[in-house]
Structure formats: structure tokens, C-alpha cells
Structure 1
Amino acid sequence: MTLAWLCLMWVFLSATVATLPLRIQFIPGAILLVAGPVLIIVIGLQVGFVFSVIALAAYVSMFRNPLLFLLARLRGRKIEVPR
């Protein structure tokens, strides 16, 4: 039951952060970006693999731009960040 509440809280927090101006989104978004895989792993351990794959698909869908940015940075590309 606690896992369900943590997942719901993560979803509502990520929706709230998405409504913030872009310059303020960075730190809370980074925290949510790191917390997501932790929740996905716990979902996989407690509920099952299928639900963790569904959660991973939702995570990648929500954070596709930051994940693409991190992937480009890891490849050594210089990306301009909007102000």
C-alpha cells in the first residue's frame, strides 16, 4: 500500500513540476528524474516485471527530453539549453 502512495505522490509532484517555469524546473525535475528508476525497481520487486515495464514506459515518455539531453551530453555533444 505504501508503494502505491509513493507512486501517486511521484506522479502528482511531476505534474506540479511540469507547470513551473522552465528555469525553476531544474532541481525538482532532477530529483524526480533520479527517484523514478528507484520506484520502478521497487515496483518490479514487489508487483512484478510486467508492471515495472509499464512504469518504465511511462517514465521514459514523461522524461524523454531530459533523457535525450543526458544521452547527448554523454555522447559529447554540446546542447543549448533554453533560458
Structure 2
Amino acid sequence: MTAFVSAQDQIASFMADVMPQQILSFKFSNDLQRRIQLLTDMKKNGTISSSESEELEKYLNYDLLIGLAKARAYQLVAK
């Protein structure tokens, strides 16, 4: 897991360096946000299938990556 986090950190830094303004303004589409919310609710209710759980995990990893990139982009823009 540590290598995965390190890889995410490196990718986030690269994204922030290359396109800080675009990273700061990035948001998932409304449809995707609704899907993530649905999957999250299903997980809370214990009604999520294994494939849906894997899908949710992917979205959460993407969200973490974007969050890291936004933090780095904000640091670059604030300088």
C-alpha cells in the first residue's frame, strides 16, 4: 500500500506542476457525483455488491489523487 500511496503522491505532484489552475477547478461531473453518493449510501446500508464496492474504491482512489493534486496546486499558486 505504501508504494501505491507514493505513486499517487508522485502523480499528484506532476499534475499540479503541469496544470495547477485546471486541477484547482476540477470537479467530477454531476452524474458521477450522484453515482458515488449512491454507492456510498449502498455501502452504508450494507446493500452494495462486490463489483459495486470495487467501483466505489476506484472512485475514492481518484478522489484522493485529485485531492492531493489540488493541495499541491494550491501551494504552487499561493507562492
Output the TM-score relative to the length of structure 2.
0.39
Output the TM-score relative to the length of structure 1.
0.38
Higher RCO, 1 or 2 (CA under 8 Å, sep at least 6)? 2
Higher relative helix content:
2
